[in-house]
Chain A
């Protein structure tokens, strides 16, 4: 079980990778993913709509962002608990980065270090890719 105190400390990619790699069993990995998804920041009002839906995912995924003083913050959610957890894993580190860092961020390496793709179904993997591509696109706008 991951308590909230711990979660608030897991914020950088290094933390997440370290935390994730301590799991020896798939059950623990999934438990972590499904529980941590509950800590996703709520989407801003009226943003969970069709125009923010990311296509190419097995389950429904909504992604939006805000811009304050030119700094991007991403919000996302899904109707799948597993995907919500994955979204937390994606968004938590980048929401602590400035725009330039996000644009540079190498998601592939991150996922590799998490040993993540290997444990997901191919269609989930494709969904993750669709989400990270969308984030990169937004950074370039």
Chain B
């Protein structure tokens, strides 16, 4: 297998991968590497355009405000949202989910309500709901996907007329399973429940269209899709926008303030108190533009092919147990018979191969699989080559020489 030229061209945009030619980076689900255009945008911003946004009227500030809002428009468009004000900047997926859990807490949830999550969630889409349920003394229901086979059936069982919100990942970070979110959202709507989709592992590899999905909330992190750290997004469906109270209070999120009263600003500002991470927003805008210039269909196709290739190769090895499904989305979670995952990663690390081992911020998922030490997780993206895959397979096969 040879890596296609367009993939090598794509890889050439990532300076770290060029500067470290021997590195095999298979930890993309944790965070991806960054393209040069992002670094250029940050440098240019501080060298020529730096000022605050929204507050000041001088040219510098109005120019950067324009860029900042253009980024919002581009990112919104990228996920199929035609109203940029529906897209709120946060620190990341984690903050986006905590924001929603917090504003719901202050809204009226009756004591007979329940909240439904799936049994494939990252801690970020589990603990905030668990804590909210404990606080309000309501039930947290975990849709039991029964060894992950009958996917939507598990939700049909869990969701009922008392369900307040269904929170579900688009793609599971631990195993790479794509959840039937279209049906989950439909089901939630049928019962008048809200729906939140954690798209942290999806936006980088799938076309997301929040409009078509019709979910109430969609959340993701910029750093997992070639963008900067410290920036996340929260999409709120227009009809839900005036329903909930603010999250944090301070500058920018207000219209008028006197000592007795405050009138809050409209979206997105209502949920963006304080000076935001302007640098990251500008940088993310540049990354989205860069992605729009790529042939995303080809990149996604290639990612699937490379994932299948590695999956099949691992499957042929009798000493490997796979926990990801064959149609896994860029993630292959597996264990090696008689090996502690940490020993594997320590040796791979010495061979310049970066993978993630352990429970992947999804301890309950590993508990269901009875994997106390977790798994070894390969997570790929479009700049990984067939050579990377072959180096990895050779490394895996060389492990038995150590014992």
| A-to-B contact residues, CB < 8 Å | 26-27, 30-31, 34-35, 58-59, 79-82, 120-121, 124
Contacts and interface: CB of A to CB of B under 8 A. Distances in A.
Interface string B328-365: 00000000000110110011011000000000000000
Contact of A121 (B346, B373, B401, B402): B346
20 contacts: A27-B402, A30-B346, A30-B347, A30-B350, A30-B402, A31-B401, A31-B402, A34-B343, A34-B403, A58-B342, A59-B343, A81-B339, A81-B340, A81-B343, A81-B403, A82-B340, A82-B342, A82-B346, A120-B346, A121-B346
Contacts of B339: 81
A124 B403 contact: no
B373 A79 contact: yes
A82 B402 CA distance: 10
A27 B348 CA distance: 11
Nearest to A37: B403
Interface of B is mostly: helix
Contacts of A124: 346
Given A30-B346, A82-B340, 17 more contacts: A30-B350, A31-B401, A31-B402, A34-B343, A34-B402, A34-B403, A58-B342, A59-B340, A59-B343, A59-B373, A79-B373, A80-B342, A81-B339, A81-B340, A81-B403, A82-B342, A121-B346
Interface string B31-50: 00000000000000000000
Given A34-B402, A34-B403, A81-B403, A26 B343 contact: no
A61 to B, nearest CB: 11
A85 B347 CA distance: 14
A82 B373 CA distance: 15
| Residue among A31, A59, A80, A121 having the largest count of chain B Cβ atoms under 10 Å | A80
A-B pairs with the 3 shortest C-beta distances?
A80-B340, A82-B343, A26-B350
Contacts of A26: 350
A120 B349 CA distance: 10
Given A58-B342, A79-B373, A121 B349 contact: yes
Nearest to A119: B350
Interface string B390-402: 0000000000011
